[in-house]
Amino acid sequence: MNSKDIAKIVGVSRSTVSRVINNYPDIPQATREKVLKAIKEYNYYPNASARRLVGMKSSTLGIFIIDIRDNEKPHHVIEKNEDLLYDNSYFSPFINAFIDQSNKAQYHVLVSTIYSSDELWKIQSAFYEKRIDGAVIVGSSNADYNKIVEIMDKDFVTVAVDFDVEKENIDRVMSVNVNNYSGVSDAVEYLIELGHRDIGIITGDLKKLSGKIRFNSFKDALLRHSLPLNDDLIAYGDFTEYSGYEGMKKILASDKKPTAVFVCNDTMAIGAYRAIEECGLKIPENISVIGFDNSYISQYMSPSLTTVNVSLPEIAKCSIDLLLECINNNEIKAMQKTVNVQIIKRNSCKKID
Amino acid sequence: MNSKDIAKIVGVSRSTVSRVINNYPDIPQATREKVLKAIKEYNYYPNASARRLVGMKSSTLGIFIIDIRDNEKPHHVIEKNEDLLYDNSYFSPFINAFIDQSNKAQYHVLVSTIYSSDELWKIQSAFYEKRIDGAVIVGSSNADYNKIVEIMDKDFVTVAVDFDVEKENIDRVMSVNVNNYSGVSDAVEYLIELGHRDIGIITGDLKKLSGKIRFNSFKDALLRHSLPLNDDLIAYGDFTEYSGYEGMKKILASDKKPTAVFVCNDTMAIGAYRAIEECGLKIPENISVIGFDNSYISQYMSPSLTTVNVSLPEIAKCSIDLLLECINNNEIKAMQKTVNVQIIKRNSCKKID
DNA sequence: AAAATAAATTAACACGTGTTAGTTGTGTAA
DNA sequence: TTACACAACTAACACGTGTTAATTTATTTT
């Protein structure tokens, strides 16, 4: 069933059918209705490839999840017997939101995960083969995006989400970022409000921009309230669960015991919980813990984890807005959007006197 | 950059370029190399739409996640302020595995979620517009798939995953199923092995096939070992966390206290944990708990949950195998594949005397 | 050297659509 | 009646590719 068939059925030329579909104004209501009726009755859908071929958009957005292992295995690919367990649940809600919102904007979504630098061609391929009009690139670290920026021609419409974009590239790309600074700021203010004065931190990977910013914001917040920044209460982690465990062990081993610890992401908080339990301490009675990300598990931890929520649907919305504007105006502007965050108060923090 | 350009550059006809790309045998090595060199040098990728238009496959598979709310809100769409939190983490590892394995087989993947019956057109649209060669349909319940079977012409290549296919349709569709029966069987045998004789159950939704089968297998297992099936130790749940909580409360309130409870999925086990804690009991000291699914959180529960693992990568593999065979042979056969499961022994079950 | 065969190459068509420029039909103004 | 504007429609081209059948070129056989 194609437009020629519909034309024959209605007794009109193929051009007319096309003009009806594309809402040309010079079609009388009577003709339009006849055509639409036949289209519906015979279940006709225009061939997407043919449309794309004559210069129309492909009506498809891409989403590329960068998941490149540096040296070791990535934290979310757990080997189990011989097959891998795929689990990047951190991105999953974002992906779902992005797909749903794209669909609502009449766009299809092509999803692909990139597990090593060798697979970066997937991005090129999707663009050059004209399968997608634009794409979101999410995840991974500094070094990779430089490679990606380099690999991609500048005429690919892409948005980097939660990506560490180097300063020299900041005006060559579009990006949507999380307001890490204010999130950490709020978290620390909240702890102070609860009466805490000896506050520790388990940092994220300081090689990553988000790790750096969160740490800086933490220090600034203490400074603003003239609170001491005790070296014994700082543990340097790398966003993995195990580093959270080790970090908390280190902090608890010091003389200066904190009454609260800010952990730079929820994954590390899982490890921190374990360390605290092993030391025979109770959350929040003996020590308050606050995380960052509001990841899926955080609500199921016991006690449920107070954390900073990053609204992934909002990030999805911002990304799509940028992409569509860019696609429709046919011009690429380097733009940054920043998404705000809010504290989710649960049961891992306690007021003290 | 198209094949015409490449042809001009190499000094050969467009046909020759095409024949090189499509591995025709009658091209001498010298010519082939010249063409391939130019293709690489100029970053030429054949236009996917044009290829599709001349009858080639679109090299794209679809994955449709059916997520239809019956009356109430679905368990994974949690309203938060005004925007939704997208979280179907249960399917997420399957989706990732499916995408990765499809990519390895040189296929792109189009992902779409269907939140209500009104959106079923998305499946039709993707097929009729010739965007995909085949698709996996995952999730949801009985009623919906009948609608889907009805809506779809029989010449769409689809595989139903973990779907309740009605008997009358079983020979009209392809499907990949979890071996629920043997999974439950193994779980109960394991509990018996540990010395348990008073075993309770929180069932799943008995309207769903998986709910029915799991319950039946449980009863059969007890029968095989001449163990009593005590009504007080049966709680009827519906796969949701809250029903797990209520079910466990009910069981614990009865006179006949069980030493172990089989919970028909991990989500209900979360609720069951809470109920047990509220009753002042300890897992596994006072009561052993075993779940089903090996969902992401199960490893993070405390104590970590012993459960039955469903290998989602294997399901993905089976689905893709079925789809590709069907696509390549251009014939649709109704086939069923069943994936086996294994117990993951963690810390929620204890040996008793 | 001519003829026959094999190897290498290509011209031309088809795929299904959107759009441009053109044509036909219809009513209005001169 | 003629000229003209305008509405309604359509013929024909372009998009980039794969493939069939035909053509050219090279090699072998007579």
Residue with token string 């203010």: A189
Mean pLDDT, all residues of chain A: 89
For the segment B134-156, the average pLDDT, to the nearest whole number, is 77
Residue B64 and residue B120 in one domain: yes
Q: Are residues B186 and B214 in the same domain?
A: yes
Query: Are A189 and A277 contained in the same domain?
Result: yes
| Domain that residue A280 falls in | 180-310
Span B163-184, pLDDT tens digits:
777 777 777 788 899 999 999 9
pLDDT at B77 (0 to 100):
41
- Name residue, tokens 């939101």: A97
Cβ contact (<8 Å) for A48 and B113? no
Which among B46, B100, B130 is the nearest to A113, CB-wise?
B100
Residue B351 lies in a domain: no
Q: Which of A49, A309, A348 to mutate to test the interface with B (most CBs of B within 10 A)?
A: A49
Q: Report yes or no on B346 lying in a domain.
A: no
Burial state string for B266-278 with b = 16 or more CB within 10 A and e = fewer than 16? bbbbbbbbbbbee
DSSP helix/strand/coil, A85: strand
- Look up the CATH number of the domain holding residue A21: 1.10.260.40
Q: What is the mean pLDDT of residues A298-311?
A: 93
Whether B300 maps to a domain, the answer reads yes
| Chain A contact set for B108 (CB, 8 A) | 110, 112, 126, 131
Do residues A303 and A189 both lie within one domain? yes
Digit-coded pLDDT (tens) for A22-37: 999 989 999 999 999 9
pLDDT at position B73 is: 45
Give yes or no for a contact between A187 and A343, defined as CB atoms under 8 angstroms apart. Answer: yes
Whether pLDDT at A200 is above 90: yes
> Band of the pLDDT at A74, cuts 50, 70, 90?
very low
Does B78 score more than 50 pLDDT? no
Residue A26 to residues A29, A31, A34, A252: CA-CA distances in angstroms?
9, 10, 15, 77
Residues B127 and B190 in one domain: no
B142 band by pLDDT with thresholds 50, 70 and 90: low
Interchain CB contact of A74 with B (< 8 Å)? no
Distance B13 CA to D23 C1' (A): 13
Please give the pLDDT value at position A140.
65
The H or E element spanning position B260 is strand B260-263
Rounded Cα–Cα distance for residues A18 and A34 (Å): 13
A151 and A82 fall within a common domain: yes
Using only C-alpha atoms, chain A has a radius of gyration, in whole angstroms, of 26
Tens of pLDDT, residues B204-239:
999 888 999 999 999 999 999 999 999 999 999 999
A48: closest CA of chain B, how far (Å): 5
Distance between CA atoms of A186 and A218, rounded to whole angstroms?
10
Residue A67, domain member (yes or no): yes
Any domain includes A145: yes
Residues A124 and A239 in one domain: no
Indicate if CB(B47) is under 7 A from strand D: yes
Mean pLDDT, residues A304-328 taken together: 94
A10 C-beta less than 7 Å away from strand D: no
pLDDT per residue over A107-123, tens digit each?
999 999 998 888 988 99
Residues A303 and A317 in one domain: no
Please tell me whether any atom of strand D lies within 7 Å of the Cβ of A131: no
Bond into A228 cis (ω within 30): no
pLDDT tens sequence across B299-321: 989 899 999 999 999 999 999 99
Whether pLDDT at B50 is above 60 = yes
Q: Are residues B102 and B167 in the same domain?
A: yes
Partner-chain contact A48 B115, CB within 8 Å: no
**Segment B24-53 mean pLDDT:** 96
- Residue B51 falls inside a structural domain: no
For position A84, what pLDDT does the model report? 41
Average pLDDT over all residues of chain B: 89
Return the closest-CA partner of residue B259 out of B159, B179, B352, B121: B352
Q: What is the CA radius of gyration of chain B?
A: 26
Does A350 fall in a domain?
no
Q: Residues B259-303: pLDDT tens digits?
A: 999 999 999 999 999 999 999 999 999 999 999 999 888 998 989
In this structure, the strands spanning B83-86 and A77-80 are unpaired
* A23 inside 8 A of chain B by CB: no
Q: Which residues of A touch B96 (CB under 8 A)?
A: 86-88, 113
pLDDT given at position B104: 94
Q: How far is CA B143 from CA A107, B94, B117, B147, B164, in A?
A: 28, 23, 11, 7, 9
Instruction: Render B116-152 in DSSP notation, one character per residue.
Output: SGGGTHHHHHHHHTT--SEEEEE---HHHHHHHHHHS
Assess if residue B348 is contained within a domain.
no
> Which residues, at least 6 apart from B320, have a Cβ–Cβ distance to it below 8 Å?
B61, B98, B101, B102, B105, B107
The pLDDT, as a whole number, for residue B140 is 65
Report chain A residues whose CB lies below 8 A from the CB of B124. 43, 45
The pLDDT assigned to B172 comes to: 77
Question: A293 and A316, same structural domain?
Answer: no
The answer to whether the Cβ–Cβ distance between B86 and A108 falls below 8 Å is no
Q: Each residue of A204-243: pLDDT tens digit?
A: 999 888 999 999 999 999 999 999 999 999 999 999 999 9
pLDDT of residue A141: 60
Interface with B, mutate which of A153, A300, A315 (most B CBs under 10 A): A300
Which residues have CB under 7 A from strand C?
Answer: A 2-4, 14-15, 18-19, 21-22, 44, 46-47, 50-51, 53-56; B 12-16, 19, 26-28, 31, 50, 53-55
Is the pLDDT confidence value at A132 over 60? yes
A25: Cβ under 7 Å from strand D?
no
Nearest to A129 among B46, B88, B103 (CB): B46
Stretch B337-345: mean pLDDT, rounded?
94
Query: How far lies B263's CA from each of B245, B248, B281, in Å?
Result: 11, 9, 17
Least confident of A71-75, A200-204, A292-296, B236-240: A71-75
- How far away is chain A from the Cα of B226, in angstroms, using its nearest Cα? 35
Closest by CA to B36, choosing from B59, B16, B57, B60, is B16
* CATH number of the domain encompassing residue B235: 3.40.50.2300
Cβ within 8 Å, pair A46-B129: yes
Segment 254-313 of chain B within 8 Å of chain A by CB? 270, 277, 296-297, 300-302, 311-313
Residues B184 and B40 in one domain: no
Domain count, chain B: 3
Chain A CB contacts of B154 under 8 Å are none
Range from A82-86, A116-120, A133-137, A160-164 that averages highest in pLDDT: A133-137
For residues A155 and B140, the answer to whether their CB atoms sit within 8 Å is no
When pLDDT is averaged across residues B49-67 and rounded to a whole number, the result is 94
Structure confidence at residue B127 (pLDDT): 95
Closest C-alpha to A244, from B300, B93, B347: B300
% of chain B with per-residue pLDDT over 90: 72
Q: Are residues B173 and B316 in the same domain?
A: yes
> pLDDT tens, B81-117?
333 446 566 788 899 999 999 999 999 999 999 988 8
